[in-house]
């Protein structure tokens, strides 16, 4: 009984003080960031989730990183490596005087131990592992990587924050790392799952001297504290941002653009272009192992309508065929005449010729990302018009993650990817991926592409690879889309990137 | 009486065991691979299989069940696959917002609905009666997430009267945190007050139509006394029933409301856990919530005993 | 169900029922809604699945009576077809859970020996938070309409059962029921003539709510991302899709929202009407 009274008193007190609490209290120099979900691990080596990359890059660093033009730049390494003529030996200088959060200082032994773990446990590291002959400390602050064969994407992999080649103190290296210790400008102070992750300034951080450029160069600890708040519902992120709760909110619905623009509290931030939606095709089993049917599928898709239904506003998508956007080194037009044919009559003929027997085409998708579902709905309509029997399997993201690993369960699953600085960073082209896309010509091009070190030759090879994507229908790129995030009005120094970071960011006065 | 209470306590244990079993079966039959989910989109099937082995997800289901039950009996609800932290710890961290959200909204609903319901029945057909039922009906006719989204949008974002979402940061005091619950409590309370109001009114009407109330009236007893003395006392049973039921509704209503307002309570946890295929967390939540329900049911039945002497056990 | 139970006093019952203008209006509105949905293939101006992506979010007007959705599909036509799904779910759940709830509640309330096991069963079912149980069941069974009905019926059955049991416990002890037992009436007769008739009104009130809740719960499941197959239009899936366009096309959430709310309101008024119309009889019987 007494408890009840106490609780009643609590309610009353809360009701009375309600309006006073509307403005959230926060320490000075604190930045609150709404992210799309909880990071399930703080070890970026073992995860390819973007949310893990976004969070961990603040406390864990890599040898290299990318500048704003996606060029590779040194971070914990002193400079770009010396690469031998044959492309087999990488000599990497390590910065002196860099401290880990546990107080120990970084040297070549830590780097070697970390890279070895990366080759063993990281999904991207494992891709390279069989090409690496050795990783050795060749001095207190020098590491040498020796390759069995030339592998041009190596530096990009070392620079990537996703399945990252993170540098940890040798002492904490283990199969699973519970308490992550890094060298980053911020360190973990407190983590309350699903509520917040509190990062505070690392006092012994030694920044690089070069001017800041993207993630490269100087990293200034302009705010004292960064708090990542997981907010899974996109609308809730919008409302939180507009009510002044967050200084930054990631991944907002295109529909909220207008409101953000009209608001005095927040500003929209458009990342243009962000990435590309993908219809991943099952080459291992089922209907789409038949190339003729794949070509019919490609012919039928109304890419423009799919994007329009999915994003609604020409500001948010581009019906663009090439695998890389305008302005990128990898841009080329090879094979793109097969993009966005939107010709259901032609597709119907192709189906007839292929002897299609009405076997359902199974599209596996989820509503975790609403645009995936919308694209699938429009695609279904067009495919049915072309004579396909379409079966939509709309499942939750977890189920999709499981089902797509079983080739017997799907023909197409829908996903998306940011535009990555190096084509080999995605496994879509690889015959070992879950798509299982393989033909002798393509496989040869891919091998040549990853062993070639000359950029001009690599560009030509990539054009051949792109032509293969269309001619053999390896997977289907559904144009390009932009991503919307939002910042508190007056927030300065935020770089538009798929993996936003908050060093160098200044709060308005 | 003591025997009855003891009997109910044994029954309670049976129910919890039943719930435990059902929860285990339901959760394990659901599709979705926690390992693939934990590894992220680029992980290979081989990596997922490796993690499944590591987590013991590939053992026979009977073995998993037996291990689960014997540990649960000792108060060990397992380790969250997602957080890699004991489920009891994860749940303890989520209890506060859900408990207070439920209490505040129940209180809000009771304070608003019970007096209006009684008065509406007493003044049956009056303008107030009509207005009360209509409002209650309207409130019960709108999906609660819709109300939540509207309130959040207009009262919190635009007018700034309440925080739009969340539960405060590291330096939020208890009162600060409770402040975050006011708007969600109102949203949740509105839907439930509609139910309580209607039920209170319906029960009162039943009672007011009964012979002994008429007799009391005919004996010249004042209307207010009739209502308070006879009718209210007899209406207590259905009202207690509905409060018991509403508490159940509140906890599950909290699932949607916590989602809208991003409150890190058990409801939000459970939805995330379903999406993350975090089996131990789903089971743990079910067991804890089940225990609370069963306790409430026990209390409700004991209250019957106290207020209505016609019920004999 | 109500009509059968009150067969003996039908004229009075219907006269009373229809004497309240609000109930009459509600009944008319509900009949119209049901008729429109049932006759959707004849009434709908367009194929509900036909997309014209370039016409997306067209405001209500001559081309699209109630506007076009994000795929440029006709909202009015979709509303009618969606109504079939939503009403089926509501009715299915109300019927299934009432039948099951009455059976369980009567058995538990009337037979002392059955009370404990039945009550344990009800307790165990009630111990699950309803939305979660529905999510879990739908995610195992799959998101079809039938599965949503089954899942929600399992969720709502205990609500009826408990009310029936509580009322039965009271009525069982009433002097005239005890008298009937003493006079040798069979248990089944007593259960149906005395108990069931007397507890029908709270059941109808509750079943009405369940009809409403089932439609609302379907919307809630869609909101959480685990309802019926999202490519099947229901009022719930329509609201959930529409909520993304609150700023550009509020009508997308308004019309299905109104459809649910009006149906639910009408149902509640009808339920109330039933209750009030049966009330005098109830008092007389007691």
Query: DSSP for A246-281?
Result: -SEEEEE-GGGHHHHHH-SSEEEEEEEEEEEEEEEE
* Bridge partners (DSSP) listed for residue A201: A186
CB atoms within 10 A of CB C183: 7
CB contact under 8 A, B262 and A233: yes
Tokens of C117: 């096991």
What's residue C94's pLDDT? 93
C-interface mutation test, from A232, A253, A263, A309, most C Cβ less than 10 A away: A309
Name, of A89-98, C126-135, C144-153, C215-224, the range with top average pLDDT.
Answer: A89-98
pLDDT for position C7: 42
Where exactly does CATH 1.10.3720.10 map onto chain B? Answer: 87-307
Query: Mean pLDDT, chain A, as a whole number?
Result: 89
Question: Mean pLDDT, chain C, as a whole number?
Answer: 79
pLDDT digits (tens, 9 = 90+) for B154-180: 888 778 788 878 887 777 788 888 888
Q: The CATH number of the domain where C148 resides is what?
A: 1.10.3720.10
d(CA B166, CA B182): 12
- CB-CB neighbors (< 8 A) of C264 in chain B: 137, 140-141
* A326-372 residue pLDDT tens: 988 899 999 999 999 999 999 999 999 999 999 999 999 987 788 89
Report strand pairing: A412-418 vs A361-366: parallel
Rg (C-alpha) for chain C, rounded Å, is: 22
pLDDT at position C6, please? 41
In this prediction, residues B99-110 reach a mean pLDDT of 87
Nearest CB among B36, B90, B170 relative to A402 is that of B36
Distance CA A266, CA A249 (A): 10
* Mean pLDDT value across chain B: 77
Distance CA A82, CA A71 (A): 16
Number of domains making up chain C = 1
Q: Which of B279, C238, C200, B196 is nearest to A398 (CA)?
A: B279
The CA distances from residue A353 to A100, A300, A359, A389, in Å, are 64, 15, 15, 16
Per-residue b or e along B150-187, where b marks 16 or more CB atoms closer than 10 Å to that residue's CB = ebbbebbbeeeebbbbbbbbbebeeebbbbbbbbbbbb
Q: Which has the closest alpha carbon to B270: B296, B245, B251?
A: B251
Cis peptide before A273 (omega within 30 of 0): yes
The pLDDT of B143-163, averaged and rounded, is 81
**Residue C69 belongs to a domain:** no
Percent of chain B with pLDDT over 70: 78
Give the model's pLDDT for residue B217: 67
User: Other C-beta atoms within 10 Å of C47: how many?
Assistant: 13
User: Which whole-number Å values give the CA distances from A100 to A78, A85, C123, in the listed order?
Assistant: 17, 34, 55
Contact status of C124 with chain B (Cβ, < 8 Å)? yes
Residue C84, domain extent: 76-285
Angle at A245 between CA C223 and CA A161, to 5 degrees: 80
* Contact at CB, B161 and A27, closer than 8 angstroms: no
Query: In this structure, what is the dihedral angle of CA atoms A120, A125, A130, A131, given to the nearest 10 degrees?
Result: -140
Residue A295 banded pLDDT, cuts 50, 70, 90:
very high
| Residue C275 falls inside a structural domain | yes
Task: Provide the percentage of residues in chain C whose pLDDT is more than 90.
Answer: 14
pLDDT digits (tens, 9 = 90+) for C177-192: 777 777 777 777 777 7
Say which range, A212-216, C48-52, C269-273, has the weakest mean pLDDT: C269-273
Alpha-carbon torsion (A331, A333, A335, A338), positive or negative: positive
Q: Are C109 and C115 in contact (CB under 8 A)?
A: yes
- The arithmetic mean of pLDDT across residues A187-197, rounded, is 89
Q: Is the pLDDT of residue C71 over 60?
A: yes
Q: Which residues of B touch A163 (CB under 8 A)?
A: 40, 42
A378-387 pLDDT per residue, tens? 999 999 999 9
Q: What's the rounded mean pLDDT across residues A251-268?
A: 89
Domain membership of residue C96 (yes or no) is: yes
Task: Flag whether C45 is in a domain.
Answer: no
Mean pLDDT of B252-270: 84
* C262 domain residue, yes or no: yes
CA geometry: angle at C271 spanning C27 and C128, to 5°? Answer: 130
Binned at pLDDT 50, 70 and 90, residue B245 comes out as low
What are the tens digits of pLDDT across the range C225-252?
Answer: 777 877 788 888 888 888 778 777 888 8
- Alpha-carbon span B209 to B207, nearest angstrom: 5
Tell me the whole-structure pTM to 2 decimals: 0.79
pLDDT of residue B308: 61
Residue C190 is assigned to a structural domain of this protein: yes
User: Which CATH code is given to the segment(s) B87-307?
Assistant: 1.10.3720.10
More confident residue, B132 or C84: C84
Residues in chain C, overall count: 286
Chain C residues in contact with B259 (beta carbon < 8 A): 223-224
Q: How many other CB atoms are found less than 10 A from the CB of residue A159?
A: 27
Residue A441 confidence class, pLDDT cut points 50, 70, 90: very high
pLDDT score of C9 more than 50: no
Alpha-carbon distance of A491 to A248, in angstroms, equals 9
| pLDDT band for position A15 (cuts 50, 70, 90) | very low
Residue with the bigger pLDDT between A424 and C183: it is A424
Q: What is the distance between the terminal CA atoms of chain C, rounded to a whole angstrom? A: 21
Token pair, residue A486, equals: 């939002």
Task: Find which of A233, A262, A312, A365 to mutate to test the C interface (most C CBs within 10 Å of its CB).
Answer: A312
Q: Give mean pLDDT, residues A108-133.
A: 93
How far apart are alpha carbons C36 and B313 in whole angstroms? 52
Higher pLDDT, B20 or A344: A344
Helices (H), A178-233: none
In angstroms, the CA B59 to CA B52 distance is 9
**Separation between Cα atoms, residue A475 and residue A437, nearest integer Å:** 8
Residue A27's pLDDT is what? 42
Q: Tell how strand A480-488 and strand A266-281 pair up.
A: antiparallel
- 3-state SS string over B11-40? HHHHHHHHHHHHHHHHHHHCCCCHHHHHHC
Tokens of C268: 């509640």
Please name the chains neighbouring C, where neighbouring means 3+ C-beta pairs under 8 angstroms.
A, B
**pLDDT of residue C130 exceeding 60:** yes
Given this model, what pLDDT does residue B29 score? 66
| Chain A residues touching residue C243 (CB < 8 angstroms) | 235
Q: Distance between CA atoms of A52 and A160, rounded to whole angstroms?
A: 12
- The reported pLDDT for the residue numbered A299 is 96
Q: What is the per-residue DSSP string for chain B?
A: -HHHHHHHHHHHHHHHHHHHHHHHHHHHHS---HHHHHH-TT--HHHHHHHHHHHTTTS-HHHHHHHHHHHHHTT---B-TTT-SBHHHHHHHHHHHHHHHHHHHHHHHHHHHHHHHHHHHHTTTSHHHHHHHHHHHHHHHS-HHHHHHHHIIIIIIIT-SS--S----TT--HHHHHHHHHHHHHHHHHHHHHHHHHHHHHHHHHHHTSHHHHHHHHTT--HHHIIIIIIHHHHHHHHHHHHHHHHHHHHHHHHHHHHHHT--SHHHHHHHHHHHT-HHHHHHHHHHHHHHHHHHHHHHHHHHHHH-TT---
Mean pLDDT for C131-143 is 71
Residue matched to tokens 């935020």 = A494
pLDDT at residue A63, as a whole number: 96
CB-based contacts of A133, cutoff 8 Å, min separation 6: A88, A146, A147, A148
Could you tell me which residue, B26 or C30, shows the higher pLDDT? C30
- The alpha carbon of residue C145 is apart from the nearest alpha carbon of chain B, in Å, by 18
Confidence of residue A11 (pLDDT cuts 50, 70, 90): very low
Q: Which tokens go with C103?
A: 């059976």
Q: Closest Cα to residue B204, out of B161, B177, B158, B237?
A: B237
Token pair of B283 as six digits: 């089971």
Give B33-89 pLDDT, tens digit per residue.
Answer: 666 655 655 566 777 777 777 667 777 778 878 877 887 878 888 778 778 788 898
Q: What is the pLDDT of residue C247?
A: 75
**Strand partners of residue A35:** A230
Contact A86, A147 (CB under 8 A): no
| Percent of chain B's residues with pLDDT above 90 | 1
C145 inside domain: yes
Helix, strand, or coil here: C184? coil
Tokens of A216: 């490269």
Residue C15 has pLDDT above 70, yes or no: no
Residue A70 CB neighbours (<10 A): 17
Question: C-alpha angle A33/A37/A41, rounded to 5°?
Answer: 100
Identify all chain A residues contacting B45, using CB atoms and an 8 Å cutoff.
405, 434
C167 pLDDT tier (thresholds 50, 70, 90): confident
Residue C220 contacts B where some CB pair is shorter than 8 Å? yes
Q: Check pLDDT > 70 for residue C283.
A: no
Q: Do A309 and C243 touch (CB under 8 A)?
A: no
Write down the pLDDT at residue C279. Answer: 58
pLDDT tens per residue across span A121-179? 998 898 889 999 999 999 999 999 999 999 999 999 999 998 999 999 999 998 888 89
């Amino acid at each position: 009984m007494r408890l009840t009274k106490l609780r009643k008193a609590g309610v009353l007190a809360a009701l009375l003080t309600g309006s006073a609490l509307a403005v959230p209290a926060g320490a000075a120099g604190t930045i609150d960031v709404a992210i799309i979900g909880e990071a399930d691990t703080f070890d970026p080596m073992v995860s390819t989730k973007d949310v893990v990359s976004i969070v961990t890059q603040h406390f864990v660093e890599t040898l290299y990183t990318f500048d704003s033009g996606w060029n590779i730049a040194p971070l914990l390494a002193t400079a770009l490596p010396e690469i031998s003529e044959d492309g087999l030996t990488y000599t990497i200088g390590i910065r002196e005087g860099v401290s880990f959060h546990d107080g120990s200082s970084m040297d070549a032994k830590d780097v070697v131990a970390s890279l070895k773990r990366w080759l063993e446990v990281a999904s991207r590291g494992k891709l390279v592992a069989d090409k690496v002959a050795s990783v050795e400390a060749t001095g207190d602050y020098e590491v040498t990587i020796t390759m069995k064969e030339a592998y041009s994407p190596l530096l990009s992999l070392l620079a990537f924050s996703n399945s990252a080649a993170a540098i940890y103190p040798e002492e904490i290296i283990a199969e699973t790392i519970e308490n992550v210790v890094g060298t980053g400008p911020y360190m973990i102070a407190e983590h309350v799952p699903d509520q917040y992750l509190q990062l505070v300034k690392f006092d012994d951080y030694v920044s690089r001297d070069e001017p800041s450029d993207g993630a490269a160069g100087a990293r200034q600890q302009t705010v004292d504290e960064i708090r990542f708040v997981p907010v899974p519902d996109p609308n809730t992120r919008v409302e939180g941002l507009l009510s002044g709760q967050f200084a930054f909110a990631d991944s907002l619905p295109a529909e909220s653009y207008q409101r953000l623009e009209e608001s005095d509290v927040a500003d929209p931030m458009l990342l243009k272009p962000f990435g590309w939606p993908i219809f991943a095709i099952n080459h291992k089993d089922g209907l789409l192992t038949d190339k003729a049917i794949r070509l019919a599928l490609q012919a039928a898709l109304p890419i423009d309508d799919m994007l329009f239904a999915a994003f609604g506003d020409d500001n948010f998508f581009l019906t663009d065929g090439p695998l890389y956007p305008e302005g990128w080194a990898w841009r080329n037009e090879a094979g793109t005449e097969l993009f966005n044919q939107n010709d259901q009559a032609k597709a119907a003929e192709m189906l007839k010729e292929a002897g299609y027997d009405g076997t359902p085409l199974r599209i596996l998708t989820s509503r975790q990302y609403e645009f995936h579902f919308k694209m699938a709905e429009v695609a279904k309509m067009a495919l049915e018009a072309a004579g396909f029997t379409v079966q939509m399997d709309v499942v939750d993201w977890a189920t999709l993650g499981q089902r797509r690993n079983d080739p017997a369960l799907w023909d197409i699953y829908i996903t998306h990817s940011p535009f990555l600085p190096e084509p080999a960073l995605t496994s879509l082209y690889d015959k070992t991926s879950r798509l299982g896309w393989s033909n002798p010509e393509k496989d040869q091009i891919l091998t040549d592409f990853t062993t070639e070190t000359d950029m001009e030759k690599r560009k030509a090879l990539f054009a051949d690879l792109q032509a293969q994507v269309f001619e053999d229908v390896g997977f289907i790129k559904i144009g390009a889309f932009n991503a919307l995030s939002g910042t508190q009005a007056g927030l300065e120094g935020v770089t538009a990137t798929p993996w936003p970071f908050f060093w160098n960011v200044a709060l308005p006065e | 009486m003591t025997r009855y209470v003891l009997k109910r306590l044994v029954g309670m244990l049976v129910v919890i065991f039943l719930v435990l079993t059902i929860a285990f079966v339901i959760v394990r039959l659901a599709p979705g691979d926690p390992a693939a989910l934990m590894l992220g989109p680029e992980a290979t099937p081989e990596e997922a299989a490796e993690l499944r082995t590591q987590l013991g997800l590939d053992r026979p289901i009977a073995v998993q069940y037996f291990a689960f039950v014997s540990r649960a009996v000792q108060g060990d609800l397992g380790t969250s696959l997602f957080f890699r932290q004991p489920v009891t710890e994860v749940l303890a961290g989520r209890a506060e917002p859900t408990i207070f959200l439920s209490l505040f909204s129940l209180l809000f609903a009771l304070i608003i609905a019970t007096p209006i319901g009684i008065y509406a029945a007493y003044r049956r057909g009056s303008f107030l009666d009509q207005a009360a039922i209509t409002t209650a009906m309207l409130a019960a006719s709108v999906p609660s997430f819709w109300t939540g989204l509207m309130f959040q949008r207009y009262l919190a974002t635009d007018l700034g009267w309440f925080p739009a979402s969340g539960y405060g940061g590291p330096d939020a005091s208890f009162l600060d945190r409770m402040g975050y619950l006011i708007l969600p409590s109102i949203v949740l309370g509105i839907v439930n007050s509609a139910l309580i109001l209607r039920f209170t009114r319906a029960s009162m009407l039943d009672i007011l139509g009964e012979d002994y109330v008429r007799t009391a009236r005919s004996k010249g007893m004042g209307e207010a006394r009739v209502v308070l003395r006879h009718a209210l006392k007899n209406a207590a049973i259905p009202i207690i029933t509905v409060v018991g039921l509403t508490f159940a509704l509140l906890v599950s209503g909290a699932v949607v409301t916590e989602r809208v307002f991003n409150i890190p309570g058990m409801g939000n946890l459970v939805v995330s856990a379903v999406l993350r295929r975090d089996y131990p967390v789903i089971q743990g939540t079910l067991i804890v919530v089940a225990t609370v329900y069963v306790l409430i049911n026990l209390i409700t039945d004991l209250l019957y005993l106290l207020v209505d002497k016609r019920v004999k056990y | 169900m109500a009509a059968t139970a009150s067969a003996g006093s039908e004229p009075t019952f219907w006269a009373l029922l229809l004497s309240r203008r609000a109930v009459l209006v509600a009944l008319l509105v509900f009949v119209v809604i049901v008729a429109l949905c049932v006759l959707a293939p004849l009434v709908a101006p367009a194929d509900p699945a036909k997309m014209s992506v370039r016409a997306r979010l067209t405001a209500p007007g001559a081309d699209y009576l109630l506007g076009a959705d994000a795929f440029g599909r006709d909202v009015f036509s979709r509303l009618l077809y969606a109504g079939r799904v939503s009403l089926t779910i509501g009715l299915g759940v109300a019927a299934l859970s009432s039948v099951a709830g009455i059976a369980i509640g009567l058995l538990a309330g009337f037979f002392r020996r059955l009370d404990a096991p039945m009550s344990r069963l009800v307790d165990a079912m009630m111990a699950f938070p309803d939305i979660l149980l529905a999510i879990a069941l739908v995610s195992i069974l799959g998101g079809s309409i039938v599965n949503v009905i089954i899942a929600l019926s399992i969720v709502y059955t205990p609500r009826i059962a408990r009310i029936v049991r509580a009322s039965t416990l009271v009525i069982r002890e009433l002097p005239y029921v005890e008298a009937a037992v003493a006079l040798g009436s069979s248990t089944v007769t007593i259960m149906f003539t005395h108990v069931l008739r007397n507890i029908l009104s709270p059941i109808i009130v509750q079943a009405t709510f369940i009809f409403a809740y089932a439609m609302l719960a379907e919307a809630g499941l869609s909101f959480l991302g685990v309802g019926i197959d999202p490519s099947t239009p229901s009022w719930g899936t329509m609201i959930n899709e529409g909520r993304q366009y609150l700023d550009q096309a509020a009508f997308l959430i308004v019309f299905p929202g109104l459809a649910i709310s009006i149906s639910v309101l009408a149902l509640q008024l009808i339920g109330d009407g039933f209750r009030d119309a049966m009330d005098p009889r109830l008092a007389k019987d007691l």
